[in-house]
Amino acid sequence: MTSIKKEKFSLNKKIISSKFNITKNFLYFLIVPAIILLVGIILISTVGFNLGSDFTGESVVKIYVNNENRFGEDVTSYDLNDSNDLDEIYKKIEIVLNDNGLEIDGFRTTTMTIDDYVIGRGQAVEVTYQNLSSDYNSIIAKNNDVRSSLITAFGYSNYEKAVSNIDYAPSEADFSWITGTVACIVVGYLVMACYIAFRNNPSIFLVGIMQIAIDIFMLLGLILIFRLTINLSLAIIILSTFLLSIFNLIYYYSKLKSNIKSGRFEKVKFSEIANATTKETTFNRAIIYAVLFVVTIIFSVLAVEGVREVALGIMIGLIVTFYTSQFLLPSFCSVLYKERKRAKTVKSKVDKKVPE
C-alpha cells in the first residue's frame, strides 16, 4: 500500500509561485528612493552632514572631582569609585555642553596634578567634545565659555585651576583614505563592467551604473536623514555598499542569463522573465541578508562608539541594496534588455530555417 505524501510548499516555492508583478509596479517602488533623494538634497543644502571629529577636530578638558575634599565643605566632593557620583559628574558636564550646543564625544576617568593646590594625581575625569566650527577664534571663544560654565557648575569659583585649560586638537584627517577608496571603487567597477560587457552583454554596464549610483545616493541620503556621525569610516560603509551592489548585480544577471538559455521563457515578454528571475533569487538573497543584518545588529549593540557608527552605516547599506535589487534592478534590466533580446530571438529563428 502506497501512501500519498502531501508536499508542503516551502517559502521559496510560495515566492516563486506568487502572482505579484515587480516590474509592472516599478513606478510605485521608485517613490521611496525619490523621496529619500529629495530629502537628502534638501538636508545637504541646509544642515549638511553630521561631521565627526575626524573632520572638525576636538577639544579636551580635565576636571578635578575634589575626592580628597581639599576645597572645604562648600564644594561638593565626589568619589569616582562610586557609580552614582560618576553618573552625577557626567550629567553636570553633559548639561554644560548641551547649553553651549555641544555633546560629549568621550568620557573617561583619569588623574590630575594641580601644583597651585598641592594636589598630586587626584581623581579627575577627562572629557572630549567635537568642535562645531572651523574658525579657530570662534572655537577658542567657545572653549573659554565651556570652561567658565564648568567652573561654575562644580563650584570652583575660587579654585579655577581645578578645571584645566581646554586643549583644542585640530583635524588631522587623512582624506586620501576616502579618495583612494572611491578611486578603487570606480576602477574596480570599470574593470569588472568591461569584462562583463565584452564577455556577455554590454548593456549590463549601464544597468550596473544605474544600480550602484542609486544605492550610493540612497545610502548617503539615509545617513543624512538619520544624522549618523561622518568620520573617515564612511569609506568602509561606501565600500561595503558597493560590494553588495556588485554581488546583487552579478547574482541576478547570472540567473537571468540561465533562464534565457533554458528556453522556458521563449514566448514570454522579457519583463516577465525579469520578474520570474527576481522571485527565484529572493529567498537565497534574503537568507544572506538576514545573516549579515544580524551580525551588524550585534556589532551596533556590543561594539564601541566608532565601530557602532560603522555597523549602523552598513546596516543602512544592507537595507538599501536589498530594496533596490529586489524592486528596481529587474525593471532596469527589463528596459535595457527587452529590445535586444527580441532581436536575438527573431534572428535565431531565421537561422534555424532549413533551405528547400
| 22, pLDDT greater than 70 | yes
| Rounded Cα gap, residues 229 and 211, in angstroms | 25
| Percent over 70 (pLDDT), the chain | 83
Residue 168, beta-bridge partner list: 59
Q: Whose CA is closest to 296, among 244, 245, 225, 218? A: 244
Name the nearest CA neighbour of 314 among 187, 211, 228: 228
Q: pLDDT tens digit string along 36-61?
A: 999 999 998 998 888 887 777 889 99
For residue 342, the model assigns a pLDDT of: 43
For residue 332, the tally of other CB atoms under 10 A from its CB is 24
pLDDT recorded at residue 9: 54
Closest CA to 225 of 33, 36, 30: 36
Q: Residue 66: left if φ>0, alpha if ψ -120 to 50, beta else—which one?
A: left
Least confident of 11-15, 111-115, 184-188: 184-188
DSSP string for residues in 232-247 = TTHHHHHHHHHHHHHH
DSSP-derived secondary structure letter, 82: S
Tell me what the mean pLDDT of segment 247-268 comes to: 86
The region of weakest confidence among 19-33, 55-69, 256-270 is 256-270
Residue 356: per-residue pLDDT: 45
- Higher pLDDT: 354 or 237? It is 237
SS (H, E, C) 279-316: HHHHHHHHHHHHHHHHHHHHHHHHCCHHHHHHHHHHHH
pLDDT at 11 over 90: no
The C-alpha cell 566632593 sits at 77
What three-state secondary structure class fits 153? Answer: helix
Q: Which residues are registered as beta bridge partners of 128?
A: 60, 106
Structure-model confidence comparison of residues 183 and 248, the more confident one: 248
Query: Which of the residue ranges 131-140, 173-182, 298-307, 314-323 has the most confident prediction, judged by mean pLDDT?
Result: 314-323
Place of cell 555641544: 102
HEC profile for 211-235?
A: HHHHHHHHHHHHHHHHCCEECCCHH
Q: Higher confidence at residue 204 or residue 158? A: 158
Q: Identify the pLDDT of residue 173.
A: 60
In words, the CATH class of domain 58-169 is alpha beta
Q: What is the pLDDT of residue 182?
A: 65
Count Cα neighbours of 220 within 13 Å in the Cβ-side half-sphere. Answer: 19
C-alpha span between 41 and 110 (Å, rounded): 43
This prediction's pTM: 0.76
Among 34-48, 73-87, 207-221, 261-275, the range scoring the smallest mean pLDDT is: 261-275
Angle at 240 between CA 307 and CA 176, to 5 degrees: 80
pLDDT value of position 287: 94
Mean pLDDT of 221-227: 94
Strands 229-230 and 50-51, how do they pair? parallel
Radius of gyration of the CA atoms of the chain, in A: 30
- Kindly tell me if the per-residue pLDDT of 289 is higher than 80: yes
What values do phi and psi take at 167, rounded to 5?
-85, 125
CATH fold of the domain at 21-48+173-343: Multidrug efflux transporter AcrB transmembrane fold (1.20.1640)
Q: Is the pLDDT of residue 349 over 70?
A: no
Q: Per-domain residue ranges for the chain?
A: 21-48+173-343, 58-169
Q: How confident is the model at residue 175 (pLDDT cuts 50, 70, 90)?
A: low
Average pLDDT in the 237-257 region?
A: 90
- Residue 241 CA from chain centroid, whole number: 8
Say if residue 135's pLDDT is above 90: no
* Residue 338 in this model has a pLDDT that exceeds 60: no
pLDDT at 352 over 80: no
Residues 65/118, Cβ–Cβ less than 8 Å: no
C-alpha span between 254 and 235 (Å, rounded):
28
> Cα–Cα distance between 201 and 314 in angstroms, integer?
31
- CA nearest neighbour of 334 among 6, 25, 14, 18: 25
* Cα–Cα distance for residue pair 168/240, rounded to 1 Å: 33
